[in-house]
Amino acid sequence: MKGKAVLITGGTGSFGRRFAELVLAKYQPRKLIIFSRDEHKQSEMQTVLNDPRVRYFLGDVRDRDRLRYAFHEVDIVVHAAALKQVPMLETNPFEAVKTNIIGAGNVIDAAIECGVQKVMALSSDKAVNPINIYGATKLCAEKLFVDGNTYTGSRPTRFSVVRYGNVVGSRGSVIPIFRKQAARGILEITDKRMTRFWLTLTQGVEFVVRCMDSMKGGEIFVPRIPSMRIIDLASAMGPSCKIKHIGIRPGEKLHEVLLTEDEARHALAFDEFFVIKPEDPQWGYDEWVGGKVLPEGFRYSSDQNDTWLSSDKLLAMLDCE
């Protein structure tokens, strides 16, 4: 990203703030544009960063014309804007559609029209075999970004996706909830069997940056990250707390999946990540080399992971964040 103009949608969210900090410190962009709809958070971010390379652009991804203005002379776009609170979206489904699906389409159109070189969209394990409206909209957004490469023709714009699991300490994560509950001495968990994938904000940002460097267009990148049972997470955060079982909430799964058996047939495994290659060869199907072909029936799920977080490692991750 050295010398490039970079824009991040949803730039005042948890990921966006950490992305801005690391990119400014390590990757020397010519300009970094924070695109979001919250003027208060932009004002706070401006005070904290205090960097002349940063621009702040008020707007909503639902507004295609506003995106066209924002993307003018931008080289790289990271699309992090989304509505993601699962229980809230179950009762406001059309709002999820407007932001997560129509907003994705607007980003694609504006990027092509403005000649953006690379667009990396952030997705979620909830997009795999979705059972809630959030996951369904993120699955649709993934398909839009992958298939968006069919619209670029001879133009330079390329689209790819990063899909990963729960981010330690981010908004919507159970960890801030557990911190508040631990002060009261009772931690509420939905099911003692439940497992989730985990990574830190910093790991997520650095993974996105690495994938942007190597993307060819149409791939879905999946990091190889550890799992942890929610009951073990609760025990680590509140070792002296009582555990209250409240049952699985609407739209929740026992276990999450980052790579399905069907996707594994056209995916490659590397030491630290998987690449789900696009099925259309014109998008670079055969350009990826060095990865291992996955065995028939391979499935990357949080309950069948080969890497697990210990309590000590989790607490170390929390300290880092």
| 157-183 tens-digit pLDDT | 999 999 998 887 666 677 778 888 888
Q: Which residues are CB-neighbours of 202 under 8 A, at least 6 positions away?
A: 18, 22, 320, 321
Question: Which tokens belong to 196?
Answer: 């989730």
H runs (alpha helix) in 185-277: 201-214, 230-237, 261-264
From residue 36, give the alpha-carbon distance in Å to each of 21, 58, 60, 211: 16, 5, 6, 23
Q: What is the pLDDT of residues 191-220, one digit of tens each?
A: 889 999 999 999 999 999 999 999 999 999
Note the residue count of the chain. Answer: 321
**Is 292 annotated as catalytic?**
no
Q: Where are the domains of the chain?
A: 5-231+251-320
pLDDT at position 282 is 63
Q: Are 67 and 59 contacting, i.e. CB atoms less than 8 angstroms apart?
A: yes
Over residues 277-286, mean pLDDT: 68
Q: What is the pLDDT of residues 114-150, one digit of tens each?
A: 999 999 999 999 999 999 999 999 999 999 999 999 9
Q: Are 102 and 83 contacting, i.e. CB atoms less than 8 angstroms apart?
A: no
The CATH homologous superfamily to which domain 5-231+251-320 belongs is NAD(P)-binding Rossmann-like Domain (3.40.50.720)
Q: Closest Cα partner for 7 from 57, 51, 66?
A: 57
Q: Are 119 and 107 contacting, i.e. CB atoms less than 8 angstroms apart?
A: yes
Q: Are 229 and 45 contacting, i.e. CB atoms less than 8 angstroms apart?
A: no
- The per-residue pLDDT of the chain, averaged, comes to 91
Q: Closest Cα partner for 119 from 145, 143, 137, 85?
A: 145
Q: What is the pLDDT of residues 57-115, one digit of tens each?
A: 999 999 999 999 999 999 999 999 999 988 899 999 999 999 999 999 999 999 999 99
Strand partners of residue 274: 222, 269
pLDDT at position 321 is 62
Question: Which tokens belong to 186?
Answer: 């009772």
From residue 40, give the alpha-carbon distance in Å to each of 13, 79, 82, 300: 12, 20, 18, 40
Q: What pTM was computed for the model?
A: 0.93
Question: Which tokens belong to 50?
Answer: 């205090």
Q: Are 141 and 100 contacting, i.e. CB atoms less than 8 angstroms apart?
A: yes
Q: Which listed residue (118, 126, 253, 277) is catalytic?
A: 126
